[in-house]
Amino acid sequence: MINVALLSKWHVHADDYAHQAKQNENITIKVVWDEIAERGNEWAQKLRVPFEKDLVKVLEDPEIDAVIIDAPTNLHKEIIILAAKHKKHIFTEKVLAITYGDCENIFSVIKENGVKLMVSLPRLTENYYLYAQDVLDKGLLGKLTSIRCRLSHNGAVPYEGHPNGWLPKHFFNKEVCGGGALIDLGAHPIYLTNRLAGSAKAVTARLQKTLGYDVDDNAVVIVEYESGVLGTLETGFLSNGSPFQLELYGTEGTLLIEDQNIRLKSKKLGEGWKVPEQLPEPLAMPLNQWVSDILENTKPTLDENDFLTLTLINQAASLSNEQGRRIEIAQLTTASVEV
């Protein structure tokens, strides 16, 4: 059995992870901590567990084996490193940290203390991603040349009584979040495309503040990959009814995924579009993979490279937007080594 502390209810998915934890027979939620005591106390009462306002006390408790972190993004590095130094296994909402250098510091402490780290990148466990990967691996698209991935919602569109839309107001605080639509919702197109296309070479991005927030609410990122693939990533908080789209284009075929509608055209399969009769079975969700890793040392399908490159593309996109130019990935990784 894994005794878990929930660290903060800041992120909108905190309740989801608490629910997943309660559904997992190998997890017991023992305590809640929150940087805002009132919010944490209310959550703890709802979950019928104690609230502890002192984070160090939580981490010093020998009964606590692991933590689930939904704290503000700018607190991730501090909290994760502190938890690792107290030998607690760590599950955290994306992104791992705001900069590549911070991620490297985190990985160093994680390895030094021998704890298990998992970042929630759930779409890498979904059947459509597994199908796309299988299509690529079988060569049905020939040489992959382009990927377009879009995920947007209307979370920042104002409506009566909600001037910031249905997202919490703190999601528009750049200092706390590290960014806006791209760093949060755009994480999914980034990590999916990274996994399918390989190592990134350069990034060009435009992060719009359409409604005048402190952070981007509409973004497009072009990623050049070492493989020659061009990735076009789109995200935003201003789209009503926008479907999830993942499109792969190659010299021998095309794969189009729009929500649950999937079709494939490949020279190797004859004329016309093919609809898959059956999709692969989804993998275990990241939280459940993390539990299996802790208890059975089962290697997760999500790894350090997925976590690191997500932050890398975000940081490069932010710089590209600020400086109005194309950013070479090597600029960020080399600068980190020099520091």
Residues 183 and 127 in one domain: yes
| Angle at alpha carbon of residue 303, lines to 35 and 104, rounded to 5° | 60
Residue 67 forms part of a structural domain: yes
Domain boundary, last residue among 283, 311, 334: 283
Percentage of residues of the chain with pLDDT beyond 70: 99
Residue 335 forms part of a structural domain: no
Residues 153 and 112 in one domain: no
What is d(CA 245, CA 152) in angstroms, rounded to the nearest whole number?
10
Is-contact 177 74, C-beta < 8 A? yes
Residues 108 and 128 in one domain: no
What's the pLDDT band for 7 if we cut at 50, 70, 90? very high
Please report, for the domain that includes residue 293, its CATH number.
3.40.50.720
Residues 235 and 153 in one domain: yes
**Both tokens of residue 186?**
């755009």
Alpha helices in 36-145 (DSSP H): 37-47, 55-60, 76-85, 100-113, 127-137
Amino acid, res. 265: K
Label residue 309 left, alpha or beta by phi (over 0 means left) and psi (-120 to 50 means alpha).
alpha
pLDDT above 50: residue 152? yes
- What is the pLDDT of the chain when averaged over all its residues? 96
Residues 83 and 183 in one domain: no
What is d(CA 305, CA 310) in angstroms, rounded to the nearest whole number?
8
How many Cβ atoms from other residues are within 10 Å of residue 276's Cβ?
15
pLDDT digits (tens, 9 = 90+) for 229-252: 999 999 999 999 999 999 999 999
pLDDT above 70: residue 335? no
Residue 106 forms part of a structural domain: yes
pLDDT digits (tens, 9 = 90+) for 177-204: 999 999 999 999 999 999 999 999 999 9
pLDDT above 50: residue 339? no
Residues 151 and 59 in one domain: no
pLDDT digits (tens, 9 = 90+) for 251-264: 999 999 999 999 99
Residue 308 forms part of a structural domain: no
* pLDDT score for 324: 97
Residues 108 and 254 in one domain: no
Range of the domain at 186: 123-283
Please report, for the domain that includes residue 270, its CATH number.
3.30.360.10
Q: Enter the DSSP assignment of 156.
A: T
What's the pLDDT band for 1 if we cut at 50, 70, 90? very high
pLDDT above 90: residue 47? yes
Query: What distances in angstroms separate CA 254 from CA 34, 125, 199, 225, one per listed residue?
Result: 47, 22, 21, 19
Query: What distances in angstroms separate CA 24 from CA 29, 288, 289, one per listed residue?
Result: 10, 7, 11
pLDDT above 60: residue 336? no
pLDDT digits (tens, 9 = 90+) for 312-322: 999 999 999 99
Residue 319 forms part of a structural domain: no
Residues 80 and 36 in one domain: yes
What is d(CA 226, CA 199) in angstroms, rounded to the nearest whole number?
6
The tally of domains found in the chain comes to 2
* pLDDT score for 164: 87
Residue 260 backbone phi and psi in degrees, to 5: -95, 5
Residues 208 and 139 in one domain: yes
Query: What distances in angstroms separate CA 15 from CA 11, 33, 57, 222, one per listed residue?
Result: 9, 14, 23, 33
Residue 253 forms part of a structural domain: yes
Residues 143 and 51 in one domain: no
What is d(CA 136, CA 145) in angstroms, rounded to the nearest whole number?
11
Please give the radius of gyration of the chain, using alpha carbons only, rounded to the nearest integer: 20
Residues 97 and 111 in one domain: yes
Residues 74 and 148 in one domain: no
